[in-house]
């Protein structure tokens, strides 16, 4: 076994593979369950799993929520909205294209950190950002100039754009809370899932009555439960455990296995097809995103601060 591939690296890769499976399962389930219902149930089950595993202190979390009364709800609503938008993108773009485009979230975090956290924008990141955006155009469609914005592609791109923005806001809020309060990342993940699930409940009034009742086969129920617990909750725990001994750029590189596996699984099991230009543009986009992460990590003096940008959004 390679000496540089440690248990921590293996945990992050395992988490990334589990997230890929989660996205594939969600791509299947969105055709059987209303998106809002699926989001609320998935985040709720994930929160229950995290509560059993992490066992957060109610007193400590209560004091944390009193200290930050609107930060956590805003972060949770942003993550919930991003999850809903991601499912819309999965429906119209496919799991491979949607998850690859979703990596542009790193670029959104870079810009939002400048606006809201007062961080300096490194000029070294600008060419990589431009390259990522250019590659994203070719990933989104084999013919970027002829995208049907009024059709399925347009809805999918609208969904992934909303996902990138909402996940970016959620990541920025998470980074701020971890750096200012010292809350443990798994505890914050529990709060995000639980409050995100609750935030989706009021929106269910807009769901047709017939769609509120979930009619799934035993197989689909199993897929929903496993994807919401092991593929969401357990993967989050593995990721943060692995992150203790892995630097931010390496963790981001290993995390790229999520969209890579999504592309492969989508082609193998969901019948998705990609044009040659999309196959070429995908590694370019992911490589550019990785370079942005490296620039951001090198810009921070402390390794801990470099890791604060690695907030899990599902």
What was the pLDDT predicted at 121? Answer: 76
Band (184; pLDDT cuts 50, 70, 90): confident
CA distance 210 to 208: 5
Q: Are 51 and 149 in contact (CB under 8 A)?
A: no
pLDDT for the residue 133: 92
pLDDT of amino acid 312: 63
**What is the rounded CA–CA span in Å between residue 23 and residue 29?**
10
Question: In what helix (H) or strand (E) does residue 225 lie, and over which residues does it extend?
Answer: helix 218-228
Q: Look at the alpha carbons of 41, 20, 77, 84 in this order and tell me if their dihedral is positive or negative.
A: negative
4-47: per-residue pLDDT in tens? 568 888 999 999 999 999 999 999 999 999 999 999 999 999 99
218-228 and 7-29 helices cross at what angle (nearest 10)?
140
pLDDT in tens, 114-173: 888 887 777 888 899 999 999 999 998 887 767 777 677 889 999 999 999 999 999 899
CB atoms inside a 10 Å sphere around CB 66: 8
């Amino acid at each position: 076994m390679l000496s540089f591939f440690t248990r921590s690296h293996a945990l992050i890769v395992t988490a990334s593979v589990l997230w890929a499976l989660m996205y594939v399962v969600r791509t299947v389930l969105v055709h059987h369950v209303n998106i809002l219902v699926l989001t609320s149930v998935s985040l709720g089950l994930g929160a229950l799993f995290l509560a059993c595993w992490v066992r957060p202190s109610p007193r400590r979390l209560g004091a944390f929520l009193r200290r930050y009364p609107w930060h956590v709800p805003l972060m949770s609503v942003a993550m919930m909205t991003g999850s809903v938008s991601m499912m819309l993108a999965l429906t119209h773009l496919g799991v491979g294209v949607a998850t690859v485009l979703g990596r542009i979230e790193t670029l959104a975090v870079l810009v939002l950190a400048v606006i809201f956290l007062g961080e300096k924008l490194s000029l070294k990141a600008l060419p990589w950002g431009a390259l990522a955006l250019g590659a994203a155009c070719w990933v989104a469609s084999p013919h970027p100039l002829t995208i049907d914005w009024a059709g399925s592609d347009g809805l999918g791109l609208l969904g992934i754009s909303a996902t990138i923005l909402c996940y970016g806001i959620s990541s920025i809020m998470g980074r701020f809370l971890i750096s200012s309060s010292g809350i443990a990342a798994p505890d914050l993940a529990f709060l995000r899932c639980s409050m995100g699930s609750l935030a989706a409940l009021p929106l269910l009034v807009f769901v047709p009555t017939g769609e509120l009742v979930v009619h799934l086969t035993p197989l689909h129920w199993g897929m929903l439960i496993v994807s919401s617990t092991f593929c969401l909750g357990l993967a989050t725990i593995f990721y943060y455990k692995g992150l203790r001994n892995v630097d931010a750029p390496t963790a981001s590189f290993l995390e790229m296995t999520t969209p890579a596996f999504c592309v492969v699984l989508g082609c193998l099991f969901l019948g998705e097809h990609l044009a040659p230009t999309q196959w070429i543009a995908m590694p370019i986009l992911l490589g550019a995103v990785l370079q942005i992460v490296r620039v951001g990590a090198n810009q921070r003096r402390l390794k801990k601060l470099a890791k604060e940008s690695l907030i899990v959004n599902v």
